[in-house]
């Protein structure tokens, strides 16, 4: 009986050992209630953006001057703006713009920053010094001021705002990956790959990069929320999306004159920005707790 019990315990231990780190991270993530709430918030807005043409009750530029600045009602749940346009419909379509800017800007900054960070951390010496000093110079400027400078140089537009947001986030990914590479390149499997003559490019993209993905995913999730705020800020300042685009920051800028007369024109776009960023932040915190071994008991 004792031998049977020992065998069953060993089988259980073997099953536990075969669980992949990603499955274990998913289990940890699901146990975090706030992270799950954030996930569903993000999923809601993604679905809203995907199915916007079918969900929105009216067209984004359908003007009804007779219904100007109507308060929220059964006909217009979020009210109307100064042109009689349905605010709910514009917010739904605006989700497409804000999420598109957030995801694409972060993908661009993550790719460029990760490549620079891997090169700096792996080769070190003068390469590391040059890349790190570039990152330090970029981080010395407040991010929003640097974004404004980039947009001012390129010209105000949504595309240039996206490029500016991508540029200002490159150092965050670069420094994060550099620090990860400095520790990973000392691992035995990397030293063994060097010993057998494996090329640097294969070592970087087959061994080091896959083992550095966890911090990239966490930073990327948190950066999307930041990118949405930055896009809204540039739109509010008139450096991002142009009228009649339903971008959330531009909606806030167009409604600031009616804050007292029709506060709903600013309240609902502001609430949507807050909820979206909150969702990404909650989900990012949950991913950090699930993927960072130091956060596990």
Average pLDDT over residues 23-38: 81
Which pLDDT tens digit goes with each residue over 122-141? 887 888 899 989 999 888 88
Residue 52's pLDDT is 87
DSSP letter for 256, please. Answer: G
Alpha helices in 124-263 (DSSP H): 125-139, 143-154, 158-184, 188-195, 200-203, 213-236, 248-255
Give which of 295, 249, 296, 254 is closest to 272, Cα–Cα.
249
- Highest mean predicted confidence (pLDDT) among 63-72, 178-187, 216-225: 216-225
Q: How confident is the model at residue 42 (pLDDT cuts 50, 70, 90)?
A: very high
Exposure string of 85-114, with b = 16+ CB inside 10 Å and e = fewer, is bbbbbbbbbbbbbbbebbebbbebbbebbb
Q: Is the pLDDT of residue 77 over 90?
A: no
Q: Is the pLDDT of residue 188 over 80?
A: no
Q: Is the pLDDT of residue 4 over 60?
A: no
Q: What percent of the chain has pLDDT over 90?
A: 21
Average pLDDT over residues 42-51: 92
pLDDT mean across residues, the chain: 82
Residue 294's pLDDT is 54
Q: How confident is the model at residue 53 (pLDDT cuts 50, 70, 90)?
A: confident
Greater model confidence, 3 or 274: 274
Judged by average pLDDT, the poorest of 20-34, 55-69, 129-143, 223-237 is 20-34
Residue 43's pLDDT is 93
Which pLDDT tens digit goes with each residue over 191-211? 777 777 777 777 777 777 777
In this structure, are residues 52 and 96 in contact, taking their beta carbons and an 8 Å threshold?
A: yes
Q: How confident is the model at residue 16 (pLDDT cuts 50, 70, 90)?
A: very low
Please tell me whether residue 183 adopts helix, strand or coil conformation. Answer: helix
Which pLDDT tens digit goes with each residue over 85-126? 888 889 999 899 999 999 999 999 999 998 898 888 888 788
Exposure string of 32-59, with b = 16+ CB inside 10 Å and e = fewer, is beebeebbebbeebbebbeebeeebebe
Average pLDDT over residues 14-23: 57
In this structure, are residues 208 and 168 in contact, taking their beta carbons and an 8 Å threshold?
A: no
Beta partners for residue 80, in sequence order:
86
Q: Is the pLDDT of residue 293 over 60?
A: no
Give which of 18, 106, 71 is closest to 268, Cα–Cα.
71
Residue 20's pLDDT is 66
Which pLDDT tens digit goes with each residue over 212-257? 777 888 888 889 989 999 998 888 888 888 877 888 888 888 888 8
Which domains are seen in the chain, by residue range? 22-57+78-295 (1.10.3720.10)
Q: Distance between CA 172 and CA 184 in Å, rounded? A: 19
Greater model confidence, 126 or 19: 126
Report the first-to-last Cα separation within the chain, whole angstroms: 33
Residue 164's pLDDT is 92
């Amino acid at each position: 009986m004792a031998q049977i019990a020992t065998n069953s315990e060993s089988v259980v231990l073997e099953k536990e050992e075969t669980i992949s780190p990603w499955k274990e991270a998913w289990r940890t993530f699901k146990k975090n209630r706030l992270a799950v709430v954030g996930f569903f918030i993000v999923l809601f807005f993604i679905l809203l953006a995907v199915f916007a043409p079918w969900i929105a009750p009216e067209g984004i530029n359908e003007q009804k001057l007779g219904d100007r600045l109507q308060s929220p009602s059964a006909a217009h749940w979020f009210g109307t703006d100064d042109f009689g346009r349905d605010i709910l419909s514009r917010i739904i379509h605006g989700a497409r713009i804000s999420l598109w800017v957030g995801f694409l800007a972060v993908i661009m900054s993550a790719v460029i920053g990760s490549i620079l960070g891997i090169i700096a951390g792996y080769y070190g010496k003068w390469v590391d010094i040059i890349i790190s000093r570039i990152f330090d110079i970029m981080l010395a400027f407040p991010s929003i001021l640097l974004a404004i400078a980039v947009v001012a140089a390129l010209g105000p537009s949504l595309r240039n705002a996206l490029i500016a947001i991508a540029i200002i986030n490159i150092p965050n990914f670069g420094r994060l990956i550099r620090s990860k590479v400095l520790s990973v390149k000392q691992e035995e499997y990397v030293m063994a790959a060097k010993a057998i003559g494996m090329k640097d490019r294969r070592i970087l993209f087959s061994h080091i990069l896959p083992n550095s993905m966890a911090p990239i995913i966490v930073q990327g999730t948190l950066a999307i929320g930041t990118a949405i705020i930055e896009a809204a800020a540039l739109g509010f300042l008139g450096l991002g999306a142009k009228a009649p685009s339903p971008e959330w920051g531009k909606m806030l800028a167009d409604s600031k004159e009616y804050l007292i007369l029709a506060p709903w024109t600013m309240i609902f776009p502001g609430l949507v920005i807050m909820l979206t960023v909150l969702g990404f932040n909650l989900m990012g915190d949950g991913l950090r707790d699930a993927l960072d071994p130091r956060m596990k008991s």
